[in-house]
Amino acid sequence: MKPAVVALLRFKLDKAHARVAGGGAASLAADVGARLGCGAAPCVFPPARRLERTRAAFGLDAAWYACAVGGPAASVRTYDALAAFLDGGDHDGVAVVEPGLIAEGAWIPNEPAFMGRQWLVSNAMNLDEAWDEATGSSDVVVQVVDTGTPAGHEDLAGALWTNDEEICENGVDDDGNGFVDDCHGYDFFGASGSVEPSPDYSERDHGAHCAGIVAAVSNNGVGVAGVAGGDGSPGSGARLMTAKVVGAAGAFSGMAAALVPDTWLQSDLDAIDYGQAKGVIYVFSATNGNNEARLYPAAYAGVVAVTNVDYKGVRRRPRHHMADYGDWIDVVAPGVSIYSTLIDGYGLATGTSQATPFVAGALALAYSRAPDVSREALLNCLFATARTVDAANPGYEGKLGDGMVDAAALLACACVETPSCGATTTTAAAPADACAGLKKSKCKKKAATCEFKKRTCRAKCAGLEKSKCKKKKATCEFKKKTCRAKADCAALEKKKECKASSCKWRSKTKKCKAK
């Protein structure tokens, strides 16, 4: 995918202006951004008490703001916006305005709110780089198990999955799957084909918010950009199938709750087993209870358990929800002050529920890039490429899974040796065929090259960067831009296999030995 052209307009507020002196710098910057025609304008150098005096001496104080213009003809539109601003005469509160450098970088969507409200979060997961390879495909379907999805929302309507074998609202089970009028999903609590959120439920926006994170239509110039929301072209963007599990009274069915094993319904666990056997990847959230105890369904075998951190990878912040933790967590994703779709617009929310759709969206991106990748291989990639956040969370080491999901590395890993990706050059490692899918007992028997972690067997060295790979030179080797487990030389009995590895064939003894 061709990188987008991005142009910046930077401006410095007049610190003597009444609104700035009165604490209204942010609102004034928003007004200036609107006058410039480029939307939200975040602060370039946020206030930092320890550094403020030094930075101010070089003119790098908190009065600088910037807004971005992306997409086709960005440089021309930026010039026109600057010219109109300068010619308009309304420069109140602005001391300096200048065009930034035109940068050709990773593809970014053209939603006005993206740079101001979503960029930090997307950058934390390397979504910008991932979008250079894939933005989502309509061939990939993500089911959102939640409070329902508003079909008429401007940013969600185009992303809804449609059952082509069902005639909507005719009261007949046309496709014979046991559900009547399941056109965009099904209301499992109310037993109907309507997936609209219940208007009298206190958290009715919950499902819409999560759905928007996964696949709100991207690059349509309005609202927000979903993780797998496409690039605005026909057929792009993952499709959202809705499983409504909350009724008007607010009671949750089993699939939506996090419960201890003794109260979990075996029928629901059997349903998860059935889906996993069919290749489905389940991604469930922990809770916001500051709890270490294993909770289901997130802790169930094969399910991806997600908890939330902020965009810096920090688990707990003042005034924020306290996310669960523990050795049962698989990965983390941003879940603090996330901007996404609501039933009647857009808004912020915080919690493990927000982190979970980021993971689901990243997996949807990987499937759109590598549709032939196996479920086991993709899960191996998800865990192997996550970046540890232990250093940012003292006291919680080993209790936040493998770390922050890295969407770009996940896509690269999924593409290695996957025919559907074609020729791909990458530094990420593919899951070793000898490890992927092995049960725990068999995995441990191959301890030289495999490890059983997070309920999955995977290659020991898969996904490590070159520097980290070389630090594990006793067990790993970096070859052909890939980190892989060193061969068990003694186990290689054939001369051809030995020479193809990092071992050396001893002609006299006719045995394979380490070099």
What is the tens place of the pLDDT at every residue in 141-157? 999 999 999 999 999 99
Point out which residues pair with 470 in neighbouring strands. Answer: none
The SS3 call for residue 158 is helix
pLDDT of residue 115: 79
The answer, yes or no, to whether residue 507 has pLDDT greater than 70, is no
**pLDDT single digits (tens) 255-298:** 333 444 445 677 778 889 999 999 999 999 998 888 899 988 89
How far, in Å, are 42, 226, 310, 397 from residue 347 at the CA level? Answer: 17, 14, 17, 32
Q: What is the mean pLDDT of residues 119-145?
A: 92
Q: Which H, E and C letters describe 442-475, residue by residue?
A: HHHHCCCCEEEECCEEEECCCCCCHHHHHHCCCC
Q: What is the mean pLDDT of residues 479-493?
A: 64
CB atoms within 10 A of CB 139: 11
The answer, yes or no, to whether residue 432 has pLDDT greater than 60, is no
**Interhelix angle 25-36/74-88, nearest 10 degrees:** 110
Report CA torsion sign: 181, 163, 231, 361: positive
Q: Any residues with CB less than 8 A from the CB of 176 and at least 6 apart, and which?
A: none
Q: Tell which residue, 196, 162, 12, has the closest CA to residue 98.
A: 12
Q: What letter represents residue 177's amino acid?
A: N
The answer, yes or no, to whether residue 346 has pLDDT greater than 50, is yes
pTM of the predicted structure, to 2 decimals: 0.67
Antiparallel, parallel or unpaired: β 338-342 and 345-349: antiparallel
The answer, yes or no, to whether residue 171 has pLDDT greater than 80, is yes
Lowest mean pLDDT among 75-79, 175-179, 247-251, 374-378: 247-251
Q: Tell which residue, 359, 301, 309, has the closest CA to residue 127.
A: 359
Lowest mean pLDDT among 319-333, 362-376, 424-438: 424-438
pLDDT of residue 512: 76
Q: How confident is the model at residue 77 (pLDDT cuts 50, 70, 90)?
A: low
Q: Where in the sequence numbering do the catalytic residues fall? A: 146, 206, 353
CB atoms within 10 A of CB 513: 13
Cα within 13 Å of Cα(172), Cβ side: 6
The single-letter DSSP state of residue 244 is E
